[in-house]
Amino acid sequence: QQQVKQSPQSLIVQKGGISIINCAYENTAFDYFPWYQQFPGKGPALLIAIRPDVSEKKEGRFTISFNKSAKQFSLHIMDSQPGDSATYFCAASMLSGGFKTIFGAGTRLFVKA
């Protein structure tokens, strides 16, 4: 499978701080980059997603920054809260038919109260 590299593996942030998770991809055919949030024992839930024709997308406290030339994208969680403690996965996919979504390794985020 084409790789999506994600870092860091784990992250501890103080309440109110900014959580930053980075990802890099290889296949330039990818044209859809979602982020998923997963709580223990649950399936992943879509958090926010971006297409490569924009450099940034913001939804509430969550922002994706996208660098097409570097083939990198990142998730910023502003004003991090204890309820944000979960595992976050970046992913890469294609919008057209015949697609498959490739996941990064995941980042375990812990927000300290």
Partner 1 sequence: GAVVSQHPSRVICKSGTSVKIECRSLDFQATTMFWYRQFPKQSLMLMATSNEGSKATYEQGVEKDKFLINHASLTLSTLTVTSAHPEDSSFYICSASRSGGAETQYFGPGTRLLVL
Instruction: Pick one of 13, 21, 24, 34: the residue that binds partner 1 (CB under 8 A).
Output: 34
Q: Which two tokens mark 98?
A: 């015949």
Instruction: Pick one of 7, 81, 99, 110: the residue that binds partner 1 (CB under 8 A).
Output: 99
Alpha helices in the chain (DSSP H): none
Instruction: Rule CB under 8 A: say whether 12 interacts with partner 1.
Output: no
Task: Report the phi/psi class of residue 52: left, alpha or beta, with left for phi > 0 and alpha for psi in -120 to 50.
Answer: alpha
The footprint of partner 1 (CB under 8 A) covers 1, 32, 34, 36, 41-46, 49, 89, 93-106, 108
